[in-house]
Amino acid sequence: MDLRPTQDEEKFRHELRSWLSDAVPAHGSPPPREDWPARRAWDTRWQKKMFDAGWAGISWPKAFGGRQASLVEQLVYYEEYARAKAPYVGVNFVGLLHGGPTLIVEGTDAQKDKHIPYILRGEQVWCQGFSEPTAGSDLASLRTKAERDGDHYVVSGHKIWTSFAQVADYCELLVRTDPNVPKHGGISWLIMPMDLAGIEVRPLPTLHGEGEFSEVFLDNVRIPVENLVGKENDGWRVTNVTLRFERGTAFAGEMYDLKRWLSEIATAAQKVTDHGTRAWDDATLRREVGHLQADIDSLWNMLKLSIGQADKSGVPGIGASAVKLFFTELKQRVGDMAMRVLGRAVLGRSNMGGLPVEYFSYEALQSLSMTIAAGSSQIQRKIIGERILGLPKDK
């Protein structure tokens, strides 16, 4: 596979870089992390700007309003986006990066018409209702039940770690529609409007105080049958499509950001001193920076492979689990280095001495949740062992 940019792809880079150089500063500073209504307004306004300028849905088919960029253009896009420090996808994460792509592959024409254009323009915010308190990392053990009553499913249960539930319009919801078959066979994937009666959202404070997650309680919520994605009891297969997008390509921008973060840590290490000695003078630390940089380069090549598979088949391959596992554990290692470089200064969580303490501490604390989100590292290792390496199944 030749991934060297052609003349046209370099033109694509120039156009994108030029647009970002004007649009990013004009969008202004983000609102406080705890102000979720303001964050929704800021994130969705940026998404609308992207759409109007023709940069939304970089890999989505043109038939659905996307850019349908080539593989190399997609890689250029992620590089330039990170380089420009453009706004994080924020509350649009679920809809844009795995909910919408799942509907493109698995949704009915009516579902696509009702949701795809609005997700792309930032007019619909989605959350993810997969995890449950009693299921742990074994997602298929979910207990939230849906019983058919005429043209509706009546849903009751409890979801947890529901990203962006407090500002979402719709939820990609997993429910158990048949409790009498093996656990993977009785699951269905539903589109749940978040304004239905019987839904209660309780935000969960996190270690870094952001509150991205919520608990969602469902009490006899009536969801139209037309909101079923795929067939009834075939939701586990649809879920795996969603998870491949989430694990294989959804974190692409953040993966590229890791390179920038490591560079900033190296810069900070040249400023931090202890009894007159710079942190950067430690040969062990410099060697570790080199190892991390090599691992980031490897990660980027793994991402290229995953995007290449998605480009051919429409869905990232099973190797998405390897990408997700490597990325999240690497991010924790980079976070650990940031904490060691900053030393006790990190306890204040406020910038001091010209060091970006707040940014470093936030990223390091946030990295702790990454090895749990979208399937824990233990689950990814199990998938890699059984489905990629062909090892015997865990009993």
Tell me which residues are annotated as active site: 246
Distance CA 291, CA 285 (A): 10
Sequential DSSP letters for 246-299: HHHTTTHHHHHHHHHHHHHHHHHHTT-EETTEEGGG-HHHHHHHHHHHHHHHHH
What stretch of H or E contains 241? helix 235-248
Residue in the structure block whose two tokens are 């589109």: 191
Give the Å distances, CA to CA, from 325 to 98, 125, 248. 18, 27, 10
59 with 245: CB under 8 angstroms?
A: no
The amino acid that residue 347 corresponds to is L
65 with 116: CB under 8 angstroms?
A: yes
N-to-C CA span, the chain: 39
Reading the block at residue 348, the tokens are: 């204040």
State the angle between helix axes of 71-83 and 7-27 in degrees (0 to 180), rounded to the nearest 10.
30
154 with 219: CB under 8 angstroms?
A: no
Give the start-end residues of each E strand in 137-252. Answer: 145-149, 152-159, 170-176, 187-193, 199-204, 213-224, 228-229
Distance CA 29, CA 79 (A): 21
The amino acid that residue 74 corresponds to is Q
Query: How many CA atoms, within 13 angstroms, populate the side-chain half-sphere of residue 7?
Result: 0
